[in-house]
């Protein structure tokens, strides 16, 4: 008897609490703006190339740096072989001693581009499946992927130790989100597809927020600045020197 009464009271309290938390709508006659908030859970999946360095030890005794590469629009689709034509996926084919784990996801098409939720899910899966050092996760990409290198890092700056956008750009209004993430960008001065000015404005804005950002400009190069950028050994040496930083506060 008492148990039944207690359960009834608890159910009533839960119902009241749910109603109290719900946003009250204006129910007057006529047309009015309204809003709602609901938690939505979606299932996602994706495909990517995974490179493991020579001598890879899956036991967890060694924690490896992870380099995530985002391709350009021309490599979108269902054929993962296309992702191998540029950047780190091309590089590792001739460098079996490349010291990073490399994950190279493929966007379904150049219209949808990269979906941040799917990228987040892939990174979560990599951290569960592989002995990745969470303080040495690096992000790079070219063209469309260079743009989304900025975009993903701005959404989750706490996940990355450093980023390398190649012929990318982003809205400088978001630059302060990257003040704790070292940035080394590369761009061709003659780029007719992604203008250098957009990248320069982003780098300048990050610096103005107190961030660590640099831009290498190839004076006589067009859109394909990735050929020079990813062939530079100094880039990978610089990456390996970076560790994820604690947020410094401020903007």
76-79 long-range contacts, Cβ below 8 Å, gap at least 24?
76/106, 76/107, 76/108, 76/109, 76/110, 76/113, 76/144, 77/106, 77/108, 77/109, 78/47, 78/106, 78/108
Cβ atoms within 10 Å of 211's Cβ, excluding its own: 20
pLDDT at residue 25 in the model:
75
Contact 143, 176 (CB under 8 A): no
pLDDT at residue 20 in the model:
46
pLDDT at residue 110 in the model:
58
Contact 33, 67 (CB under 8 A): no
Domains along the chain with CATH numbers: 51-240 (3.40.50.1820)
pLDDT at residue 30 in the model:
60
Residue whose C-alpha is closest to residue 142's, from 220, 221, 65: 221
Pairing of strands 101-105, 64-70: parallel
Measured between alpha carbons, how far is 83 from 75 in angstroms, rounded to an integer? 6
Q: Which class for 141: exposed (0-12), middle (13-18), buried (19 or more C-beta within 10 A)?
A: buried
Contact 174, 201 (CB under 8 A): no
Distances (CA, A) of 192 to 55, 89, 149, 151, 224: 42, 25, 20, 21, 10
Residue whose C-alpha is closest to residue 242's, from 137, 156, 146: 137
Measured between alpha carbons, how far is 151 from 160 in angstroms, rounded to an integer? 12
Measured between alpha carbons, how far is 67 from 77 in angstroms, rounded to an integer? 21
Question: For residue 72, how far is the Cα from the chain centroid?
Answer: 14
Residue whose C-alpha is closest to residue 115's, from 175, 48, 198: 48
pLDDT at residue 77 in the model:
84
pLDDT at residue 114 in the model:
87
Q: What is the pLDDT along the chain (251 residues), one digit of tens a residue?
A: 455 544 444 555 444 444 445 567 767 766 667 766 767 666 677 788 999 999 999 998 999 999 999 998 998 888 889 999 999 999 999 888 899 999 999 988 656 678 888 999 999 999 999 999 999 999 999 999 999 999 999 999 999 999 999 999 999 999 999 999 999 999 999 999 999 999 999 999 999 999 999 999 999 999 999 999 999 999 999 999 999 987 766 54
Pairing of strands 183-188, 213-218: parallel
């Amino acid at each position: 008897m008492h148990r039944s009464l207690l359960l009834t009271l608890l159910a009533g309290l839960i119902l009241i609490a749910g109603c109290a938390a719900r946003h009250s709508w204006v129910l007057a006659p006529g047309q009015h703006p309204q809003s709602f908030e609901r938690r939505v859970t979606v299932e996602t999946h994706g495909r990517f190339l995974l490179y493991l360095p020579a001598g890879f030890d899956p036991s967890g005794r060694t924690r490896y740096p992870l380099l995530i590469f985002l391709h350009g629009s021309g490599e979108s689709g269902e054929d993962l072989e296309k992702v191998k034509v540029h950047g780190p996926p091309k590089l590792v084919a001739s460098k079996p001693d490349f010291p990073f784990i490399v994950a190279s996801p493929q966007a379904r098409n150049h219209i949808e581009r990269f979906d941040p939720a799917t990228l987040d899910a892939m990174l979560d899966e990599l951290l569960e499946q592989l002995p990745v050092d969470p303080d040495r996760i690096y992000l790079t990409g070219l063209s469309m992927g260079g743009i989304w290198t900025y975009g993903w890092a701005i959404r989750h700056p706490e996940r990355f130790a450093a980023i390398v956008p190649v012929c990318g750009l982003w809205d400088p209004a978001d630059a302060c989100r990257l003040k704790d993430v070292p940035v080394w960008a590369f761009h061709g001065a003659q780029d007719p597809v992604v203008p250098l000015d957009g990248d320069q404005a982003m780098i300048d804005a990050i610096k103005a927020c107190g961030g660590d950002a640099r831009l290498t400009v190839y004076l006589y190069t067009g859109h394909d600045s990735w050929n020079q950028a990813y062939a530079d050994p100094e880039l990978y040496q610089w990456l390996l020197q970076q560790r994820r930083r604690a947020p410094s506060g401020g903007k």
